[in-house]
Amino acid sequence: MGDANGNGIQFAKYHGLGNDFILVDNRQQPELALSAETAAQWCDRHFGIGADGVIFVLPPTGETDYTMRIINSDGSEPEMCGNGIRCYAKFVAALENVPENSEKLYRIHTLAGLIQPIFRLDGQVTVDMGEPILDAAKVPTTLAAAGEKAIEVPLSVDGETRTFTTVSMGNPHAITFVDDVEAIALETVGPPLETNAVFPQKTNVEFIQVLGRDSLKMRVWERGAGITLACGTGACASLVAGVLTERCDRLATVILPGGPLDIEWSSADNHLYMTGPAELVFMGTYR
């Protein structure tokens, strides 16, 4: 991980639709190469490299190829990240010298369970994100009783009431539908929703504008990162919320500030499939 003289740690900077990450090859040891505090410093856009999080490629766990862990820009650790795992797949493919015109599936252990990204011939990455979790107690949220779904439940914060549908993709999401996502002041409404007591592990918050049965427009306040240009797990959770509330079909394009993601909630296996890009920005050594 360090250079030949042990004077720094090599890294690669990737982004998925503007949701950017620092990737570190951590395959030689199960412990993270950086502390959470140092990872947060690396993410600082003025005094560090700048990113929404640091992702580590760790040795495999059980019958997997690798283990993925993430430290957010605030030093917290989320269970999973949809855009991040696409970047992860691209980074691992580069580490393995997989040719650009090849296809390969990876079995990745995450804190959200097994996630399987496919490095595709066209350079895109399709990720089997698994099944959505709708049981309120497992999201977790107290907006509904254990064993029940929280679908369009009213929640009042700072004198304003909105209805939320909650979904977990291994990490918690609260989705609300609005007429115009651009009119939402995320920096104002995001923090009190993220930390509201009805979300015991905090939550990601998605604001969704329905453009059509096959098209949703999304803005997100991410737990531990704030305003980001894209959120893959949030796009998946938002499609689920759209289907549950009969606003959209099971296959739709979710348009984020950074660009579009194609999301499918398969009726065959109940899994979410996310397809989108991941791009290398630059590589370097942090000394």
Which residues are identified as catalytic?
81, 231
Closest by CA position to 50, among listed 15, 100, 92, 16: 15
- Does residue 220 sit in helix, strand or coil? strand
Q: Report which secondary-structure segment, H or E, holds 155.
A: strand 153-157
Based on its alpha-carbon atoms, the radius of gyration of the chain, rounded to whole angstroms, reads 18
Closest by CA position to 48, among listed 39, 60, 61, 36: 39
The two structure tokens encoding residue 70:
């993430």
Closest by CA position to 81, among listed 12, 11, 19, 14: 19
According to DSSP, the β-strands at 19-25 and 53-58 are: parallel
Gap between the Cα atoms of 123 and 147, Å rounded: 40
What are the two backbone dihedrals, phi and then psi, of residue 47, each rounded to the nearest 5 degrees? -115, 0
Gap between the Cα atoms of 127 and 130, Å rounded: 9
Q: ∠ at Cα 205 (204, 207), nearest 5°?
A: 150
According to DSSP, the β-strands at 125-130 and 153-157 are: unpaired
Burial 212-232 (b: 16+ CB within 10 A, else e): eeeebbbbbbbbbbbebbbbb
Q: Report which secondary-structure segment, H or E, holds 41.
A: helix 36-43
